[in-house]
Amino acid sequence: TWSAVPAGPPDPILGITEAFKADKDSRRINLGVGAYRDEDGKPYVLNAVKKAEEKITAAKLDKEYLPITGLSGFTSNAAKLAYGADSVPRNQNAIAVTQTISGTGALRIGGTFLARHYPHSKTIYVPTPTWGNHIPLFKDSGLEVKFYRYFDKKTVGLDFEGLKEDLQNAPEGAIVLLHACAHNPTGVDPTQSQWKDISDIVAEKKLFPFFDMAYQGFASGSTDRDAFAVRYFVSQGHQIALSQSFAKNMGLYGERVGAFSLTTASEEERKRVDSQLKIIVRPMYSNPPLHGAHIANTILSDPELYQEWEGEVKGMADRIINMRERLYQLLSNDFRTPGEWSHVKSQIGMFSFTGLNKEQCKVLAEKAHIYMTMDGRISMAGLNGRNIEYFAKSVDAAVRG
């Protein structure tokens, strides 16, 4: 029956982990996967999460199904975290929100909703480059995917002129996907003043902004600061779509906790939109899982745990910022590695686009047991006090050839 099914290509990122696992060298480093590691290179379960789980166990909750759109306390708190307590649509009860299977599920539900109900376009513009999964995910949702310029290889920074030109030339009403903060894979974000210009173009061209916020808190260490773009757009009167993930900022990767929301014009409109979100979710997976939503909701609704969580998010963000500074010093001052390395310091969030080319990445894997995606992206979280010097030395050797 399946004789005509062609073998698909392996996932580029998960393939790296396979190669890493097969390498038994004690110096091996995995910089491919986008999951936080602590100073010992170990996965990190947040204390706020452990305490929330203790509270949940003690409460002896049952395992009944959640409603189609999830745990209402969680969705309400997730919206508050993203939009802010004083957000106008939130206070008007005009934000439609559903719990999702993490950020990926949020993007998929959002893509499907827009393909079905957004009246002005079926085209979504995503940045080049973008998180690899955006492209198949939106195509599978029924949208056509096009691109706007984002990254300038020469400056290893934002191609702001290219971005503005491409959005200005997009057809009126098109959907535009914006990384709310900590752009993956480049680590390059617009400044606040650049966000204001983007908001103006979006208004002028009547584009529909769809924010992907997978790293709230991870960029600057402050969940409020990282929500700037989302809140600014809403304050300017844009209606937006928003995907949220709690994978990174609560370390809940495998628990799959996320939310998709849309701001609407009124409570009455919100109710109609809600009903259609349910119609999308019900035949897909009926209702979302329980445990992760309880963890996130316990943290977001308990002032003490919330405070502890904020401290831990900042701790993770700060450790990454320290690694950036240290790597910059090593390459730039200690080894005097040819090239300009200040982007390592200025980039934001979990990833750095190093500027290393495919050949150099290959050499690093084969000779130094260091694994990363072939576009030169490294997860800064994979670096720590024990391996960063070896990493910098190996980069230096690869660059010198």
Question: Is residue 258 near ligand PMP by the rule CB under 6 A?
Answer: yes
C-alpha 215/C-alpha 236 separation (Å) is 23
| Residues sharing a CB contact under 8 Å with residue 195, sequence separation 6 or more, in sequence order | 228, 229, 232, 233
x-marked contacts with ligand PMP along 143-182 as a string, rule CB under 6 A: ------------------------------------x---
Output 89 or 349, the one with its CB closest to ligand PMP: 349
Using DSSP, how many helices (H) and how many strands (E) does the chain show?
A: 16, 13
Output 147 or 328, the one with its CB closest to ligand PMP: 147
CB of 109 to ligand PMP, least distance (A): 12
Q: Name which of residues 4 to 63 contact ligand PMP (CB under 6 A).
A: 34
CB of 133 to ligand PMP, least distance (A): 7
Number of chain positions touching ligand PMP (CB under 6 A): 13
Output 179 or 343, the one with its CB closest to ligand PMP: 179
Q: Name which of residues 359 to 388 contact ligand PMP (CB under 6 A).
A: none
CB of 247 to ligand PMP, least distance (A): 4
Q: Which of 48, 163, 247, 280 binds ligand PMP (CB under 6 A)?
A: 247
CB of 173 to ligand PMP, least distance (A): 24
Output 92 or 287, the one with its CB closest to ligand PMP: 287
| Among 306, 291, 250, residue whose Cα is nearest residue 45 | 250
Residue 248 falls in the annotated catalytic set: yes
Whether 283 and 71 have beta carbons less than 8 Å apart is answered as no
Output 101 or 398, the one with its CB closest to ligand PMP: 101
Whether 210 and 240 have beta carbons less than 8 Å apart is answered as yes
Residue 2 falls in the annotated catalytic set: no
Q: Which of 68, 78, 214, 250 binds ligand PMP (CB under 6 A)?
A: 214
Backbone φ/ψ region at 30: left (φ over 0), alpha (ψ -120 to 50), beta:
beta
Whether 45 and 251 have beta carbons less than 8 Å apart is answered as yes
C-alpha 148/C-alpha 159 separation (Å) is 10
**Tally of residues, the chain:** 401
Whether 391 and 364 have beta carbons less than 8 Å apart is answered as no
Q: Which of 69, 245, 298, 360 binds ligand PMP (CB under 6 A)?
A: 245
The active-site residue out of 195, 248, 274, 341 is: 248
Residue 346: strand, helix, or coil = helix
Output 252 or 290, the one with its CB closest to ligand PMP: 252
Q: Name which of residues 121 to 140 contact ligand PMP (CB under 6 A).
A: 131
Output 246 or 341, the one with its CB closest to ligand PMP: 246
DSSP conformation class of 6: P
Based on the number of CB atoms within 10 Å of its own CB, is 205 exposed (0-12), middle (13-18) or buried (19 or more)? middle
CB of 185 to ligand PMP, least distance (A): 8
C-alpha 151/C-alpha 186 separation (Å) is 7
CB of 272 to ligand PMP, least distance (A): 27
CB of 48 to ligand PMP, least distance (A): 18
Longest dimension (CA), the chain: 64
Whether 114 and 139 have beta carbons less than 8 Å apart is answered as no
Chain centroid to Cα 21, Å, comes to: 25
C-alpha 349/C-alpha 164 separation (Å) is 23
Whether 155 and 339 have beta carbons less than 8 Å apart is answered as no
x-marked contacts with ligand PMP along 83-122 as a string, rule CB under 6 A: -------------------xxx------------------
The active-site residue out of 159, 166, 189, 212 is: 212
Active site residues: 131, 212, 248
Interface residues toward ligand PMP, by CB under 6 A: 34, 102-104, 131, 179, 184, 212, 214, 245, 247, 253, 258
